[in-house]
Amino acid sequence: MRKKVIAGNWKMNKLPNDAIEFITELTPLVKNSENEVVLCVPYTDLFYSLLHAQDTNIKIGAQNMHFEERGAYTGEVSGEMLKSIGVEYVIIGHSERRAYYNETDETVNKKLKKALSLGLKPIVCVGETLSQRENGLAKDVVITQTKLALQGLKNEEVEKIIIAYEPIWSISTISTGKTATKEDANEAIKWIRKEIEKIYGSEVSENVIIQYGGSVKSGNAKDLFEMSDIDGGLVGGASLDAQEFAKIVNYNV
């Protein structure tokens, strides 16, 4: 049985004091959850969040990292730096980074390899735009992104990765007015799982955790997460409120 991983992606929100308050409020609400609870916070919140999440079941992640260990990369943060303060998870290749910061399939692949070599748990994002979906290209796009992200990885490495299927058109801040149905989400995740099975075999494809992301809220979490292939979610807007996020984490209690 694959574990459900419910990860919040705060994006560029919350100051350290907000993060501390949030974790203090969330801790008792999720302490009995059998699901993995992760908060991917801004760099400036990482240290405070790690301190305040100590001795809780809340894991802390970053939202990006560089693939080089050090050097003349002004403004960047390396995986080694994340690891050195105790960060466990890192989001790689979020659609916002692909769209606004020239993140490519190649850099996603390099970052993934680096994160795995350091023992960080990567959450790799893939997903199509609305026009790609409307033109019948969703499956191709998602499979290509997945294959390129995982290129050159060994079976045991692929098993350690979390993939987040995030159809860009379904992200709450994109305002296409559309959201993926649980059937859309499950179908796309099955495409990904099938492709992983083709390349890495059925044991790997059965074990790899594939989340859904895009307008996940307390009102739809149960429906989504009970689908056969959806192993939890990567939650944006709804992860900014501790009560709301706790309801998503506790969708099955």
DSSP strand pairing (209-213 vs 232-235): parallel
At closest approach, how far in Å is the CB of 217 from ligand 13P?
A: 8
Measured from the CB atom, the residue of 58 and 234 that comes closer to ligand 13P is 234
DSSP annotation of 218: T
Given candidates 87, 92, 171, 208, which one binds ligand 13P under the rule CB under 6 A? 171
DSSP H or E segment with residue 210: strand 209-213
Rank residues 118 and 171 by Cβ distance to ligand 13P and give the closer one.
171
| Residue 61 sits in the site that holds ligand 13P (CB under 6 A) | no
In the complex with ligand 13P, the residue whose CB is nearer, 79 or 93, is 93
Which listed range, 17-25, 149-157, 169-177, 224-232, lies at the site for ligand 13P (CB under 6 A)? 169-177
Minimum distance of ligand 13P from residue 69's CB (angstroms): 26
Q: How far is the CB of 174 from ligand 13P (least distance, A)?
A: 8
Q: Is 237 in the site for ligand 13P (CB under 6 A)?
A: yes
227, 229, 248: which is closest to 237 by C-alpha?
248
Is position 172 an interface residue for ligand 13P (rule: CB under 6 A)? yes
Strands 36-40, 58-62: pairing kind: parallel
Of residues 188-227, which lie at the interface with ligand 13P (CB under 6 A)?
213-216
* DSSP state for residue 83 in the 8-state scheme: H
Asked if 64 touches ligand 13P (CB under 6 A), the answer is no
Rounded Cα distance between 99 and 160, Å, is 26
Active site residues: 94, 166
Taking CB under 6 A as the rule, which mask of x and - marks residues 3-42 in contact with ligand 13P?
------x---------------------------------
Which DSSP string corresponds to 90-118? EEES-HHHHHHS---HHHHHHHHHHHHHH
Rounded distance, CA 144 to CA 62, Å? 25
Nearer to ligand 13P, 171 or 208 (CB): 171
Interface segment toward ligand 13P; rule CB under 6 A; list 41-49, 131-139, 144-152, 164-172: 164-172
Please name the residues in contact with 98: beta carbons below 8 A apart, sequence gap of 6 or more.
104, 108
C-alpha span between 41 and 58 (Å, rounded): 12
The token duo for 247 is 């309801």
Q: Which residue is nearest to ligand 13P (CB)?
A: 236
Would you give the distance in Å from CA 20 to the centre of its chain?
21
Please give the residue ranges that form the binding site for ligand 13P (CB under 6 A). Answer: 9, 94, 166, 171-173, 213-216, 234-238
